[in-house]
Structure 1
Amino acid sequence: MKIKGMRWWIIVLLFFAAVLNYIDRQTLSALAPTIQADLDMDDQAYANVINIFLIAYTIAYLISGRVADKIGTRASLFFFVAWWSIFNMLTAASRGVTSLSFYRFGLGLGEAGIWPAASKAVSEWFPAKERALAIGLYTMGATVGATIAPYIVIPLATYNYAEVVPGIAESLGQGAGWRIAFILTGLAGLIWLIPWLMIYRKPEKSKLITADELAMIQTASTTEDAGSTETAQAWSWKQVLTFRGTWLLLLARLITDPVWYFYQFWFPKYLSSDRDLSQEQLKITWVIYAAAGVGSLLGGIISGQIVKKGVFPVASRMWVMLFCALLMPLSPFIASATGLNTSLTLTVFTVIAALAWLINISSLVVDIVPKHSLGTVFSVVAAGSTLGGIIMNMIVAAMVTGPSNKPAGFLDSAFHTLLDPILNLVQGQGYGQWFLIMAFLHPLAWLLLKFGGIYRYSTDK
C-alpha cells in the first residue's frame, strides 16, 4: 500500500510525540501542590527537583544528537520516547524528594532527544522549501501539549479511584490519583511507539512512499547537496566544536530562547502579581500558547514561500528572523500598558515573533549541517537553549524577589560566581526590567549571526 504525502504523515507522528513530551514534563507542574503535600516537599525542594530535570535535559542535549546520528532516526526516537515514557511511569513510585529527583532526572535524559531526532527526520524527508513548515508543525505539538496538560492530568489525578478500582488505589497508597496520572500519561508514549515502528523508514527504504514523492525528495536532495564538499563520514567532536556555525547558532539560541522560557514559566506569575489576576482568571494564559502555535506555523510558511521564490534557505530564514527581531522592541510596552487587553495584545505579537524566530533558527541548523552530523550539531546548539533558560530563571527570580534569607539551592550556588555581578545589578528591579531586556535580545542575536558569517553557508545545502 502506498500513502500519498507520506512525509506529512511522519510530521503528524512527530507532532503527537511532541504533545506527549510536553504533557509528561508538565504533569509534575500541574499536580505540584498535591505532590508536595503527599511527599512533604517545601518549595526549595520542589525547585531542586525542577533544576535536576533541567540539568539532565542539558546533558541529554549534548549526547542525544550523537546517538541519533549513530543509530539513525527510527531507532533513536524509539529509544528516546520509550525511555522518557518509562521514567514518567516510574515517577508514580516516588516516596520522597530523592526518588522523585531520580525519576525526573531520568525523564530529562530522555525528553531532550526528540528534538535532534525530529530534525533528522525532517532533513531526510523534506526539501529546503518545506523544512521550516515541517519543523513548525511538530514544534506546535509542544505548545498544544503544554496547553492541554492540566486539563488531562488534573482530572486523572482527582478521579475517585478508591470507589471504582479500590484494589489498584490501595496498592498505590497515598496519592493514588496523581500516581495513576503519571502511569497513564507514560503509557500513552509507549502506545505511540507502535505506529512509529510500523511507519518510519528513510524515504528510499519506505514501502509506503509513492514513486512521485520519492523522486521529488531525491531530486531535491541531489540539488541541495550539489554545492557541498562534505564527505559522507560523520563529523568528529573536534569538527563539530570547531565549526563556526555551531557556535553562532548556540549563542543565538542562548540569547533568545530565554524569551520563550519566560513566557512559559514566569508570565502567569507576572499577571498574578503585577496585574492582580486571580487563579481562575489566569486561564487567559491559553492565548500565549495559541500565539506560540500561530508563530510556529507562520514562521515556517513564510520562510518556505521565500525559498520557493528562489532565495537560498539561509537567507530566507534570516529575512524572517529580521522581521521577528524588529517586533521584539514591543516588549517593554507590555509592562507599561495600563490596560490588561492592550498588554495581552502586545504579548501575543511578541510571542508569535519569538516562536517564528525559533522555528527558523532551528531550520538553519538543518540547512547548513550535513545530514550525517545533523543530530550532533543540533543537540549542541540546543544545549545553549537550556543554559539560557537556567540563567534567565536566576535573573528574573532576582528581579522579582529581591534578596533572600534562605539558603541557595545547589544550582544557584553553581552559577553564583558567574552571575553574581548581574544579579546584584538587577536585584529587586521587578518584571519591568526584564521586559526591557527582552526588547534587545533578538536584534542582538540577529546581528551576531549576520556579522558572524552565517550567510557564508547560503549555497552549501
Structure 2
Amino acid sequence: MRIRGLRWWIVVLVFLAAVSNYIDRQTLSALAPTIQADLGMDDREYANVVNLFLLAYTIAYLISGKLVDRLGTRAGTALFVVWWSLANVVTAWAQGPRSMGTCRFLLGLGEAGVWPAASKAVSEWFPSRERALAIGLYTMGATIGAIVAPYLVIPLATFDYAGKLPLVDGLFDYGTGWRVAFMVTGLIGILWLIPWLMLYRRPRESKLISGDELALIEDGGGSVEVEERGWTWVQVLSFRPVWLLLLGRLLTDPAWYFYQFWFAKYLNTSRGLDQGSLEITWIVYVAAGAGSLAGGWASGLLVKKGRTPVQARLWIMLGCACLMPVSPFIAKVAGLNSAMVLAACAVFAALAWLINISAIVVDIVPKHSVGTVFSVVAAGSTLGGIAMNMIVAAMVSGPSSKPGGFLDQGFKMLFGRLIEAVEGKGYEPWFLAMAFLHPLALLLLWAGGIHRSRGASQ
C-alpha cells in the first residue's frame, strides 16, 4: 500500500508531537497561580523552577542533536517523547519548589530533543522549497499545544474531585486538580508513539512512499541514502554560521519564552484576570501559529521566485524585526482588548522570525549533521530564556526576602548592576526591551555575513 503525500503525513505526526510537548510545558504556567499558592512559591522561586527546566533544556540540546544523528530520527524521537511524558506524570507528586524544580528539570531533558529530531525529519523528507513551510507546520503544533493547554488543564484543575470522584481525590493530600492535570497531559505522548513507530522510516526505507514522491524529495535536495560521517564537534564549533545563528536565537527567543512562561502571570497580576479568565491567552497562541505558517509560506514563495533559501529567510526576518517595536505599547494601552491585539502582532512576528532562522540551519548544514548543529544553535535559545527569567523575576518581585538559589546567585554575580537597575520596575521595561531584540539580532547576523552562507544541503 502507498500513501499519497506521505511526507505531509510525517509532518503531521511531528506537529502532534509538538502539540503534546507544549501542552506538557504549559501546564505549569497555565496553572501557576494555583500551584504557587498550594506549594508556597513566590515569583522568584517560580522563575527558578522555570530556569531549571531551561537549564536541562540547554544541556539536552547539546546532547540530543548528536543522539538523533546517531540513533536516527525514528528511535531518537520516540526516546524523547517517552522521557518527557513520564516526567510530566511524575510531576503530579511534587510537594514543594524543590521537587517541582526536579520534575521540571527532568521534563526539560526530554522535551528539547524533539526539535533537532523534527529538523532532521524535515531534512530527510522535504525538498528545500518546502522546508520552511514544513518547519512552520510542526512549529505551529507548539502554538496549538499552548492554545489547548489552558482549556484542557484549567477544567481538570478546577473539577470537583472530592464530590464527584472521591477515589481520585484520595490519591493526593491536596491539590488534586492540578496534579491530575499533569498526569493526564503526560499520558498523551505515550499514545502518540503508536502511529509514529508504525509510520516513520527514512524515505528509501519506507514501503508506503510512492516512486513519484521519492523522486520529488531526492530531486529537491531531500534525503539521499549516502552514508557520510557526521561532523565532529570541532567542525561544528568552527563553522561560523553556528555562532551567528546561536547569537541570533539567544537575543530573540526570550521574547517567545516570555509569552510562554510569564504572559499569563502578567495578565493575572497587572490586568486583574483570575485563573479561569486566563484562557484568553489562546489569542496570542493563535497568532503564534499564524506566524509560523505565514513565515514558512512567505519565504518558500520567495525561494520559488528565485531567491536563494538564505536570502528568502532574511527578507522575511527583516519584516518581522520591523513589526516587533509594537511591544512597548502592550503595557501602555488601557484596554485589555487593545493589549491582546498588540501582543498578537508581536507574537506573530516573533514566530515568523523563529521559523526562518530555524530554516537557515537546515538550508546550510549537511543532512548528516543537521541534528547536531540545530541543537547547538538552539542552546542559545534556552540561555537567552534563562536570562529573561532572571531579569523579569527581578522586575516584577523586587528584592527577595528569601535566600537566593544557585541560579540567582550566579546570575547576580554576572549581571548584578542590571538586576539592581530593574528590580521592582514591573513588566514595562521588558516590553520595551522586546522592541529592540530582533532588529539588533538581524544587524548582527548581517554584519557577520550570514547572507553569504552557501547551502550545503540543497
Paired residue for 2:113? 113
Paired residue for 2:5? 5
Paired residue for 1:22? 22
Q: Judging changes above 3 Å, is the alpha-carbon distance between structure 1 residues 89 and 348 closer, same or farther for their aligned structure 2 residues?
A: closer
AA of the residue aligned to 2:234: K
1:50 is aligned to 2:46: no
Q: Judging changes above 3 Å, is the alpha-carbon distance between structure 1 residues 241 and 355 closer, same or farther for their aligned structure 2 residues?
A: same
Query: Shift in Å at residue 179 of structure 1?
Result: 3.6
Any idea what the Cα deviations from partners look like across 1:111-135, whole Å, max 9, x if unmatched?
1100000000000001111111111
Paired residue for 2:412? 416
1:244 is aligned to 2:240: yes
Separation in structure 1 between the aligned mates of residue 398 and residue 40 of structure 2, nearest angstrom:
26
Paired residue for 2:209? 209
For residue 386 of structure 2, the aligned residue among 367, 387, 390 is 390
Contact preservation (8 Å) 2:151, 2:279:
no
Separation in structure 2 between the aligned mates of residue 61 and residue 67 of structure 1, nearest angstrom:
10
Q: Judging changes above 3 Å, is the alpha-carbon distance between structure 1 residues 70 and 410 closer, same or farther for their aligned structure 2 residues?
A: same
Query: Shift in Å at residue 399 of structure 1?
Result: 3.0
Separation in structure 2 between the aligned mates of residue 181 and residue 137 of structure 1, nearest angstrom:
26
1:371 is aligned to 2:367: yes
Any idea what the Cα deviations from partners look like across 1:169-211, whole Å, max 9, x if unmatched?
5455544444433332222211110100000001111111111
Separation in structure 1 between the aligned mates of residue 328 and residue 429 of structure 2, nearest angstrom:
8
Any idea what the Cα deviations from partners look like across 1:365-414, whole Å, max 9, x if unmatched?
11111111111111111111111111112222333333333322321111
Paired residue for 2:301? 305
For residue 346 of structure 1, the aligned residue among 335, 342, 345 is 342
Separation in structure 2 between the aligned mates of residue 375 and residue 419 of structure 1, nearest angstrom:
32
Query: Shift in Å at residue 271 of structure 1?
Result: 3.9
Any idea what the Cα deviations from partners look like across 1:79-101, whole Å, max 9, x if unmatched?
00011112222223434544443
Contact preservation (8 Å) 1:334, 1:435:
yes
Equivalent position SS for 2:3: coil
Equivalent position SS for 1:221: coil
AA of the residue aligned to 1:107: L
Paired residue for 1:181? 181
Separation in structure 1 between the aligned mates of residue 90 and residue 273 of structure 2, nearest angstrom:
36
**Could you list the runs of 4 or more consecutive aligned residues of structure 1 that deviate by over 6 angstroms after TM superposition?**
none
Contact preservation (8 Å) 2:150, 2:278:
no
Query: Shift in Å at residue 298 of structure 1?
Result: 0.3
Contact preservation (8 Å) 2:31, 2:275:
no
Equivalent position SS for 2:24: helix
Contact preservation (8 Å) 1:313, 1:458:
no
Contact preservation (8 Å) 2:271, 2:336:
yes
Equivalent position SS for 2:220: helix
Paired residue for 1:61? 61
Query: Shift in Å at residue 294 of structure 1?
Result: 0.8
1:400 is aligned to 2:396: yes
AA of the residue aligned to 1:368: I
Equivalent position SS for 1:349: helix
Q: Which ranges in structure 1 are unaligned for 5 or more consecutive residues?
A: none
Equivalent position SS for 1:137: helix
Contact preservation (8 Å) 2:91, 2:182:
yes
Paired residue for 1:315? 311
Q: Judging changes above 3 Å, is the alpha-carbon distance between structure 1 residues 220 and 334 closer, same or farther for their aligned structure 2 residues?
A: same
Query: Shift in Å at residue 332 of structure 1?
Result: 2.6
Contact preservation (8 Å) 2:251, 2:441:
yes
Paired residue for 1:425? 421
Paired positions, count? 456
For residue 265 of structure 1, the aligned residue among 246, 261, 268 is 261
AA of the residue aligned to 1:5: G
Equivalences for residues 22-101 of structure 1 within 5 A: 22-36=22-36, 45-101=45-101
Contact preservation (8 Å) 2:65, 2:375:
yes
Q: Judging changes above 3 Å, is the alpha-carbon distance between structure 1 residues 155 and 102 closer, same or farther for their aligned structure 2 residues?
A: same
Q: Judging changes above 3 Å, is the alpha-carbon distance between structure 1 residues 339 and 151 closer, same or farther for their aligned structure 2 residues?
A: closer
Paired residue for 1:295? 291
Separation in structure 2 between the aligned mates of residue 157 and residue 70 of structure 1, nearest angstrom:
40
Separation in structure 2 between the aligned mates of residue 300 and residue 267 of structure 1, nearest angstrom:
25
Separation in structure 1 between the aligned mates of residue 265 and residue 409 of structure 2, nearest angstrom:
24
Equivalences for residues 426-445 of structure 1 within 5 A: 426-445=422-441
1:361 is aligned to 2:361: no
AA of the residue aligned to 2:299: S
Query: Shift in Å at residue 340 of structure 1?
Result: 4.1
Query: Shift in Å at residue 15 of structure 1?
Result: 1.0
Q: Judging changes above 3 Å, is the alpha-carbon distance between structure 1 residues 410 and 142 closer, same or farther for their aligned structure 2 residues?
A: same
Separation in structure 1 between the aligned mates of residue 454 and residue 353 of structure 2, nearest angstrom:
18
Q: Judging changes above 3 Å, is the alpha-carbon distance between structure 1 residues 430 and 185 closer, same or farther for their aligned structure 2 residues?
A: closer
Contact preservation (8 Å) 1:45, 1:97:
yes
AA of the residue aligned to 1:87: A
AA of the residue aligned to 2:293: L
Query: Shift in Å at residue 358 of structure 1?
Result: 0.4
Equivalent position SS for 1:201: coil
Contact preservation (8 Å) 2:84, 2:110:
yes
Separation in structure 1 between the aligned mates of residue 164 and residue 333 of structure 2, nearest angstrom:
51
* Superposition RMSD in Å: 2.5
Separation in structure 2 between the aligned mates of residue 83 and residue 72 of structure 1, nearest angstrom:
17
Query: Shift in Å at residue 29 of structure 1?
Result: 3.2
Once the two structures are aligned, what percentage of the paired residues are identical? Answer: 64
AA of the residue aligned to 1:232: E
1:219 is aligned to 2:219: yes
Contact preservation (8 Å) 2:47, 2:390:
no
Query: Shift in Å at residue 356 of structure 1?
Result: 0.3
Query: Shift in Å at residue 280 of structure 1?
Result: 5.3
Paired residue for 2:449? 453
Greater alpha carbon shift after TM alignment, 48-57 vs 68-77? 48-57
Query: Shift in Å at residue 14 of structure 1?
Result: 0.9
Separation in structure 1 between the aligned mates of residue 395 and residue 96 of structure 2, nearest angstrom:
31
